[in-house]
Amino acid sequence: MNLRWTLPLVLVAACDNSARNEQIASVDKKVDDGAEARAAELKRKRAEEAQAKADEDDRIHQAIVKIAVAPESPPKALAEACQAVADAQDRFVERLGDAGAKSKWTASRESDLPMSIIACTSNESVVVAGCQANALDQADATMKDRMQEILDVCVSKFAKPRAGGVQAAGMAIPKRPQ
């Protein structure tokens, strides 16, 4: 065999990099362990944040349920009761809304309030309307983004079931029977 070919083969065979390769693998494993630990910590933090948000949502919902009560003396006429709900919605936004919510409400008030009255009358209940107006007036700052939930809780508590067992919706426009 030619010496020119033999020398590189001997040198290649003499270079055993197994210890070096093990060190590299060990460093890679440490990096992976660190990344896994960070990922696990991030996952734990996200789970804690999600649980805290769910707990806060539940606490606010329970507060809404507490203020959603039937009025002691419900209004006599449905039209007057529903107008009171629309007025309460207006006061709710003016009292609790931030600048953006107030400007949006002001811009859409002309169309939103009549739709609110229509939705209220579709419930066919002065008790529901009284509950909604009262609850909106009692709402605190934690409920500022939950107007619809307040309305819906009153509907679910006091609306009479409709034909087919379906309850009226808080702000939904009723569909005509087919």
Quick: pLDDT tens for 87-127.
999 999 999 888 888 888 888 888 888 998 899 999 888 99
What would the two tokens of residue 110 be? 């002309």
pLDDT at residue 10 is higher than 80 = no
- Full-model pTM: 0.66
Non-local (6+) Cβ contacts of 73 within 8 A are none
Judge contact between 130 and 74, C-beta under 8 A: yes
Banded pLDDT at 138 (limits 50, 70, 90): very high
What pLDDT, on the 0 to 100 scale, is given for residue 27? 60
Residue with tokens 């009761």: 81
